[in-house]
């Protein structure tokens, strides 16, 4: 069994707690929080698992909530940008993520009710 990096596991567990709080309080500025999560997964050269698959799935679910339910464009954009990095990591590590909510969101959105930037990120994940 592979031993995950304790630093990243602990770091992301703390971020998950903060993200849950930010979601509950409808925080309008999650830039630093989401950015610190995204940074962990941003390198395309990560070749070994750095955190457990369950932690990746938990982050995915929380960021999906931010993306779909936040009223703040910046939070939506930061969330989908982080999700794109996490999705790439999950594919390299053979971690299956649930895309159902993202697919439903995409069916209801186009250039008339969101931005091209967001649509590109969502489409990159779904294609």
- Burial 11-32, CB ≥16 within 10 A → b, else e: bbeebbeebeebbeeebeebee
Residue 55 Cα distances to 27, 59, 86, 109, 124, angstroms = 22, 6, 11, 29, 22
The pLDDT tens digits for 43-82 are 878 888 999 999 999 999 999 999 999 999 999 999 999 9
The pLDDT tens digits for 29-38 are 999 999 999 9
- How is the chain split into domains, by residue range? 6-126
- Mean pLDDT score of the chain, rounded to an integer? 94
Token duo for residue 120: 């590109």
Please tell me the pTM assigned to this model.
0.94
């Amino acid at each position: 069994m592979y031993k995950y990096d304790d630093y990243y596991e602990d770091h992301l567990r703390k971020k998950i707690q903060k993200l849950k709080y930010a979601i509950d309080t409808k925080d309008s500025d999650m830039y630093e929080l989401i950015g610190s999560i995204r940074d962990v997964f941003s390198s395309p050269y990560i070749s070994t698992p750095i955190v457990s698959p369950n932690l990746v799935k938990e982050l995915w679910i929380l960021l999906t909530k931010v993306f779909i339910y936040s009223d703040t464009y910046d939070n939506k954009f930061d969330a989908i940008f982080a999700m794109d990095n996490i999705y790439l990591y999950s594919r390299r590590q053979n971690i299956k993520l649930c895309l159902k909510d993202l697919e439903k969101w995409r069916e209801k959105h186009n250039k008339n009710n969101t931005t091209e930037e967001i649509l590109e990120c969502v489409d990159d994940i779904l294609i």
